[in-house]
Chain A
Amino acid sequence: MPAIKRRPPHPRERRMIFANIDREDYTPDIDCYIRNGGYEVLRKAITMEPDAIVGEVKASGLRGRGGAGFPCGVKWGFIRRGGPKPTYLICNADESEPGTFKDRYIIHQDPHQLIEGIIISCFALDVHLAYIYIRGEFPEGAKILEKAIAEAKEKGLLGKNLLGTGFDLEIYVHRGAGAYICGEETGLIESLEGKRAYPRIKPPYFPAVLGLYQCPTIVNNVETLCHVRHIVDMGGAEYAKIGRPNNTGTRILCVSGDVRQPGYFEIEVGSLTMGEVINDLCGGLKPGRKLKAIIPGGSSAKVLRAGETYKIKEKAADGSLADKEIGIEDIRMDFDSLAAVGSMAGSGGVIVMDDTRDMVWVLNNLNAFYAHESCGQCTPCREGSLWMRKITDRIMAGGGVESDPDVLKSVADNIAGKTICAFGEACSWPTQSFVLKFREEFQGKSKKILPPPTPPEYLSETLIEQNEPKQLTGGSTTP
């Protein structure tokens, strides 16, 4: 791997998870980690009652950093210790939401922070077998994690009777093989069982009840598990003071696209607005450009258009709620604020687009992604994602017809909510929001009045029985 380009933190960042990222004097080996206070929190954790650790995580208000923002303590609370089945823990390192690139740096530069977070979590949840599911395109990352696990074992921090506690834990690295759907927790579990990553239906397959090998399983994101280490270190109540109520802690934002300095920034959740992220952290837009659109939380999040205004309710100092109208640059970067403006904080991946971008082209790129990544299990998603791609492909090729914006919306509307997993929403939200908010661009490229030519495989002569030659030809423009 080429030398890592190191960058000092921005003054407005608060680095906790990324404290050691891009430090000149920091290496990913265990000695460096221990020199910097590593595994001290684990030593503290093993003196605590496991339930007390779960209690601290609940008190911290930590919300999962993978995309859904589900409270981690609540998830953990579903696990009952001492049940008839073993409990497993899986670290979701399948980072593949377009726009997201945070776990890569933790894994490459500070792997022991993650390992320590996993060991503490396993101790709290009485887990003796844990897997790190890392995406196949991180071969280097998988090797680094395997080395880190071996180092931790050698020091007695992992394996049988770790640190003399009588507690046994094995962690293994499991590599994916290029399928985005493995980031969905039940798809990930199927994949880890050696099957196609077809997500399972909930209920009954909530991982905490029926997960890996039909046993209770906790699936947490890399960043979430790293936070656990810091929560146990400072105490849940203290951690909850960081950020904002219901949006606690720090979070890593990944900014890409049309800004001068794209990159990753760890901020207190909600401490900055969208405008501050773009203008202060990222140095603003490129010279002479104007902001056009922002995808705020990974490519599945609904797009926000520059110049839009949003009506939100804001809590005043006396606790009363007041209506307020804000613009795109005023949106606070936290879970609740991004949900209030109709999008989501998702995985923290912010993609910025300036006025040189063609929104049909952008949507077409995303549609190609979702059409490629649909697992194919549910018909609306498998077929719909491909239809949407074919339509935007055709519009880009100059064949847009008047009805296309409506057809796109209709296809998207018929996927969301009708599939086993949230991929249905993930693939339809971009189309729904792009067509709604940039309708004039889609209409501008969709001016033909004729219906599109019928593909050759649907020509009437191949479909219609010899004795009823004229029944299915209506609507076709092909002679």
Chain B
Amino acid sequence: MTMNLPAELLARVDEAISHYPVSKQSASLPLLHLFQEHYGFISEEAILWIAEKLELEPIQILGLVTFYPMFRRKPAGKHHIRICRTLSCAMAGSQELREHFCRKAGIDPHGDSHDHGDPITVGADGKYSIEFVECIASCGTAPVCMIDDDFYEAVAPEEIPDLLAKYQ
């Protein structure tokens, strides 16, 4: 194992594995979440480390990283903004909201490759990144977004500067 995990992360890894007494493989997603939370993305080394820890082939872990949209293989910005793209939010102006966010956060709104594998656009200074995501289940308070793990409802373009100011 080439990675040296901090003791706290290692403890959380072992705790997560203990939740799956029948099959260690079940801990794959939880471990990927822990690694992404800690390192910001899933590196090649992380894939190898998790595979070895769970006694799997690395391809089994890589296959998850490429399948599940929340996992990314390169760093996002220091703060990651997710804006809902799906119908109810779109009807409430999520396309415009995304453009406003991009402008205020210093991100090129047309900068993403629109590639299924890499839907995240990072600003030049690396402070913010933005991603158009599918329904995040709050259609009644559209348009909605998440900044890091925090959730915001009925977001108006005027609120964006104050919102971003909270995430330095």
Interface residues of A (CB under 8 A from B): 1-2, 5, 95-101, 103-104, 129, 135-140, 172, 174-180, 191-197, 213, 254-258, 262-264, 299, 349, 351, 353, 357, 362, 365-366, 368-369, 372-373, 375
Contacts and interface: CB of A to CB of B under 8 A. Distances in A.
B6 interface: no
B29 A175 contact: yes
Interface in B124-156: 133-142, 146, 149-153
B25 interface: yes
Interface string B47-72: 00000001010001001100111110
A477 to B, nearest CB: 25
B153 A5 contact: yes
A254 B141 CA distance: 11
A347 to B, nearest CB: 10
A104 B137 contact: yes
Contacts of B90: 365
A177 B137 CA distance: 14
26 contacts: A96-B135, A98-B87, A99-B87, A100-B137, A101-B137, A101-B139, A135-B137, A137-B133, A140-B150, A174-B26, A174-B30, A178-B69, A178-B134, A179-B68, A180-B134, A193-B23, A193-B25, A197-B67, A213-B23, A262-B88, A262-B140, A263-B140, A299-B87, A351-B139, A362-B91, A365-B85
B25 A178 contact: no
Nearest to A4: B153
Given A100-B139, A177-B29, A353-B91, 20 more contacts: A2-B151, A99-B88, A101-B137, A101-B139, A129-B21, A140-B151, A175-B29, A177-B32, A178-B69, A193-B25, A193-B26, A194-B54, A194-B60, A195-B64, A213-B23, A299-B86, A351-B87, A362-B91, A368-B85, A375-B67
Given A178-B133, A351-B88, A196 B63 contact: yes
Contacts of B85: 365, 368-369
A1 B151 contact: yes
B50 to A, nearest CB: 10
B129 to A, nearest CB: 15
A373 B29 contact: no
B74 interface: no
A176 B29 contact: yes
Contacts of A357: 91
Contacts of B133: 137, 178
Interface centre among B23, B140, B149, B152 (most CB of A within 10 A): B140
Contacts of B151: 1-2, 140
Contacts, number: 151
Contacts of B150: 1-2, 140
Given A194-B28, A256-B139, A177 B21 contact: no
A373 B87 contact: no
B91 A254 contact: no
A104 to B, nearest CB: 5
Contacts of B146: 137
B82 interface: yes
B64 A196 contact: yes
B84 to A, nearest CB: 9
Given A5-B153, A99-B87, A178-B69, A195 B137 contact: no
A174 B151 CA distance: 20
A101 B140 contact: yes
A257 B23 contact: no
A460 to B, nearest CB: 27
Contact of A362 (B19, B32, B87, B153): B87
A229 to B, nearest CB: 22
A2 B137 CA distance: 16
B64 A258 contact: no
B137 A256 contact: no
B7 interface: no
Contact of B23 (A175, A194, A254): A194
A160 to B, nearest CB: 14
Nearest to B116: A372
Nearest to A259: B140
B33 interface: yes
Given A5-B153, A129-B21, A194-B26, A98 B64 contact: no
Contacts of A129: 21-22
B137 A194 contact: no
Nearest to A193: B26
B120 interface: no
A145 to B, nearest CB: 13
B76 interface: no
Contacts of A136: 33, 68, 70
Contacts of B28: 194-195
Given A135-B137, A362-B87, A196 B67 contact: yes
B46 interface: no
B83 interface: no
B70 A139 contact: no
Contact of B29 (A96, A191, A263, A369): A191
Contacts of A176: 29, 68
A97 B116 CA distance: 20
A369 B139 CA distance: 15
